[in-house]
Chain A
Amino acid sequence: MRQTLAIAGRDLRTTYLSPFGVGATAGFVALAGVLLVLDLDPGQARLDAWFASVFVLLGLLAALVTMRSFAEEERVGGLELLLTAPVTTTQVVLGKLLGALGVVLVVTGFSVVCPLLVASMGNPDGGPIITGYVGLVLVGAAFVSVGLAVSAASANPLVAATGTAATLLGLWFAGLVGGGSTGRLRILLNYVSPSSHVTGFLRGTLGLSDIVYFVSLIVLATVVTGVVLDARR
């Protein structure tokens, strides 16, 4: 555990000691603010549309954060030092996951300014805001897990970021495609799409099946990342 936390701490520190971390955080919060203006209905203190947009924005953030985790680190040679240190592949993957998740938590933490702004002007329902943030953390963790798997499979950060964004957008919009199909395909596409599992968070409910879905996605992507890293040796 000590080594896992060391890896996570180092990644979090190097991210926020570089212009990338500050820029990504500022950019995310600024875009979240723009989305708030666009998604807020006049006269209504409802944030469900804003949360839905921020989930998609989180996919782009995950792509940018996780491209550094393995692909960028391999490009500069640091991955070789990490994988030759006396740590297991599991410790490396979990350390990277916690490090990337740390960035997501910091960024979503700063985005709280948006609901606070709405609360200062109106009287929004607190329940959906709390579940919305639980959703942001779960979706963020799932997205960075997928991003880590793509990043581990790529030696080029740009390819990793593009691949992650494409994978997450594909998964997200699979739900919409599923809506236009029928039968088992519809059920399958709806189930695999994260967009089908965030509606509860937007309404202020925490469904067990949704939580199981995101936890399963995190576990599956984490296992895939470990397998990819081992296969590269």
Chain B
Amino acid sequence: MTEAIRVELRSVSRRFGAVQALDHVTFDVRPGEVLGLLGPNGAGKTTTMRVITGYVRPDEGSVSVGSFDVGRDSVAARRLIGYVPESAPVPRELTVRGYLAYCTRLRGVSRGSRRGAVTGALHQAGLDEVGHQVIGTLSKGYRQRVALAQALVHDPPVLILDEPTAGLDPRQVADTRALIAKLGRKRAVLFSSHLLAEVGALCKRVVVIDRGRVVAERDVTELTAASQGLRLDVRITGDVEGAATAVRGVRGVTAVEPRADRLIVRGTGSDLAQQVSAALVSAGFGLVELKSGTESLEEAYLRLVRP
């Protein structure tokens, strides 16, 4: 039976030379949820995961897994964690079963429970048919599953998954997502991905990190809907830059982005579309099309991490 364990990061900072990899990062991962960790390359996602798993020590702040501080009770904290690093490093020379049997010994699974733990992890990761195969002969998708199985072999209450679907084909991605969703029902799962649709589909809550700082921590629905209100896609005739200048002065407009033949206008207010169209027409621009909507997760994400 998996325990209900919470992971907490409190004001965690870490510097590598001149680079501030993490800057007072604070968030938590709750039991029974899959928390998405989003951010561009080099934002600090992997360092965050490495700090939680004890691979990297923070310069400041603290990380706790359940009642254990990762700095003071590192081994006890690590016993509660299953970790899949980004590159899914598994030894190519061993068979899947042989490798998982080694993992049970390494993670302190009792002698009598090892066979069952290996069989259970194989089954959960969908590896029943390839258990006796040498890992080096498996496809990348299967090796990724082996990496996931090694994280499950001691039935940990916390899973840290660094881009676990990277490099998989669409079918494997769908299978892995389904597995993560299932695992997240009983465990605290921290999951990073570059695929925003994936995070949107799997996670109720996301943490967005950029340049080592948490720039947002909220429900996916909040992030996409409540953040900056409306998004107008306005197709016009005439000079786009001039039209952008005309729209910038309109009440409620917070941002204007000129594109080839259109403007992307962000703002608030129930009459935003009406105000913008009136401003454009009065300035002499032809209005071809106006679409109104809320931001997608991708747009919300890009706005948060934009320089």
Which chain A residue lies CB-closest to B75? A86
Which chain B residue lies CB-closest to A82? B106
Q: A2-10, A27-35, A44-52: which lies at the B interface?
A: A2-10
Which chain B residue lies CB-closest to A230? B57
Size class of the B contact interface (CB-based, 8 Å): 20 to 34
Docked Cα-Cα span, A10 to B90, in Å, equals 12
With beta carbons under 8 angstroms apart, the residue of A13, A18, A87, A233 that contacts B106 is A87
> Which of B53, B76, B79, B91: most chain A Cβ within 10 A?
B91
Which chain B residue lies CB-closest to A76? B89
User: Which A residues are in CB contact (< 8 Å) with B91?
Assistant: 10, 14, 78
Contact B75 A88 (CB under 8 A): yes
Contact A85 B87 (CB under 8 A): no
Contact B106 A6 (CB under 8 A): yes
User: Which B residues are in CB contact (< 8 Å) with A77?
Assistant: 85-89
A13-B93, A14-B91, A86-B108 known; A81 vs B150 contact (CB < 8 Å): yes
B160: min CB distance to chain A, Å: 9
Contact B79 A83 (CB under 8 A): no
> Looking at chain A's contact residues, is the secondary structure mostly helix, strand, loop, or mixed?
helix
Contact A7 B89 (CB under 8 A): no
Which chain A residue lies CB-closest to B134? A17
Which chain A residue lies CB-closest to B51? A233
Total number of A residues with any Cβ neighbor in B under 8 Å? 24
User: Which A residues are in CB contact (< 8 Å) with B106?
Assistant: 3, 6-7, 82, 85-87
Which chain B residue lies CB-closest to A79? B89
Contact B108 A80 (CB under 8 A): no
A-B contacts, CB under 8 A, total: 69
Docked Cα-Cα span, A77 to B86, in Å, equals 9
A221: min CB distance to chain B, Å: 24
A72: min CB distance to chain B, Å: 11
Docked Cα-Cα span, A3 to B106, in Å, equals 5
Query: Is the CB of B235 closer than 8 A to any CB of chain A?
Result: no
With beta carbons under 8 angstroms apart, the residue of B53, B55, B76, B105 that contacts A2 is B105
Contact A6 B105 (CB under 8 A): yes
With beta carbons under 8 angstroms apart, the residue of B55, B87, B88, B102 that contacts A83 is B55
Query: Is the CB of A84 closer than 8 A to any CB of chain B?
Result: yes
A77-B89, A81-B89 known; A86 vs B76 contact (CB < 8 Å): yes
Contact A84 B78 (CB under 8 A): yes
User: Which A residues are in CB contact (< 8 Å) with B191?
Assistant: none
With beta carbons under 8 angstroms apart, the residue of B78, B88, B98 that contacts A85 is B78
Known: A77-B85, A86-B79, A233-B55. 16 other contacts (CB 8 A): A2-B105, A2-B108, A3-B106, A3-B108, A6-B102, A10-B91, A10-B94, A77-B87, A80-B50, A81-B89, A83-B55, A84-B50, A84-B83, A86-B106, A86-B107, A87-B106
A-B contact pairs, 7 of them (CB 8 A): A10-B91, A80-B50, A84-B55, A84-B83, A86-B107, A233-B54, A233-B56
